[in-house]
Structure 1
Amino acid sequence: MKSKQFSTLFIIFSLAFLVLIGVIVYTIIGKKTEDKQDPFLYKEQQTLGDQDAPVHIVEFADFKCPGCQKWDEHVFPEIQKEYIETGKVQFHFINFPFIGDDSNLGAAAGEAIYKQDHAAFWKFYTALFEAQQSTDQVWITEELLTQIVKEQLPKINVKQFQKDLNSEAIQKKVQQDKDLALGLKVQGAPTIYVNGNLVDSSYDGIKNAVEKALKK
């Protein structure tokens, strides 16, 4: 009798173990498949636009980058008006802090702001580019960042922002973005992808890629 009960329990535990192994394997395979389909980790990035938009635009940028500043001033508003606000494009910003140590601080600030209020990040995005100085200067400071938050981002809790700015979680996110850029062999900034394809960062280059993607 005891032998029969032992056998039954053994079978039950064996099946449970196999089910557990199956779940683990399925999760691992599913995650790898998801990463393969979404190498940019769209859901983890600072994002603007309709989540159901058929086209994804990714910008790799450094807040100290003069080319990024010009892109934000001249190209981004047109992309936003024509494609993001009309629900055709979801836009994703990915940090690529490569110019100086304060590039990392600017990236961390953006992540800390986005954590509190997604909409506030895009105001910060423009404000920090507008405050841009020479690349050989250390101009992104905690004082400047706090000033921008206090003066232009009323929905952001300043104390929480200051706490998050140097937190391990935020630093990890910035490094994740940088590793992603390096993994894709991003050479500079701004670097733009449309639906996973590297494109010319000019307005015409992006427009042509988006229009082509919309026809598919």
Structure 2
Amino acid sequence: MATLIPIERYIAAFPASPLGAWADAAPWALTSNSEAIVRALLATLPVRDYMLADEVAVHRSAVVEDGAVLKGPLILGPHCFVAAGAYLRGGNWVDAHCAFGPGVEVKSSFVFAGSKFAHFNFVGDSLIGAGVNLEAGSIVCNYRNELVDKEINVRIDGAPHRTGVKKFGALIGDGVRLGANAVVAPGALLAPGTVLQRAALLDQGF
């Protein structure tokens, strides 16, 4: 299954990143094991560059406002910004120069450099490429609440594939733009540069 979705086609920096050791894993395998993966990466961090407490590592150049909630395991990279009211939980790895505005919740996700979540966004169990921008209120869903069978399925080259997991949001390529109040349904694969218009629904499920 992993060979069906080469992650580097969506996120160019993936192979050379700290996550490169998992380059052969399926995206949903990464997010399902995010806590273990982040814990493994925590053990490799240069202690002098990070403030570390309760499995939360914050780079010394990052800015975290009072009122933000950071739950481990978590790695927050250089020059990131986390606003008051943001909530990061469930095992997250965040690359450099990322921003999380007020009311943003991110769960069990891997976020690459320069991506920005404006405010009042939810992103669950997802891989987010570099330079991705989420306007206010856009959501990446991770659970098929409306279905009896909760297993997430994806389409690869138009063909259906089962993931074996009940929670997976999306693989979002570099430079993707989600307009305000747009919704991405579970199991989406967004090619680099995709633009989703404001208030749009993207549902690639079956």
TM-score range normalised by the length of the shorter chain = under 0.3
Query: Per residue, is there more helix in 1 or in 2?
Result: 1
- If asked which structure has higher relative contact order (CA below 8 Å, sep 6+), I would say 1
TM superposition score normalised by structure 1:
0.25
Q: Normalization by structure 2: what TM-score? A: 0.25
State the structure with more CA Rg. 1
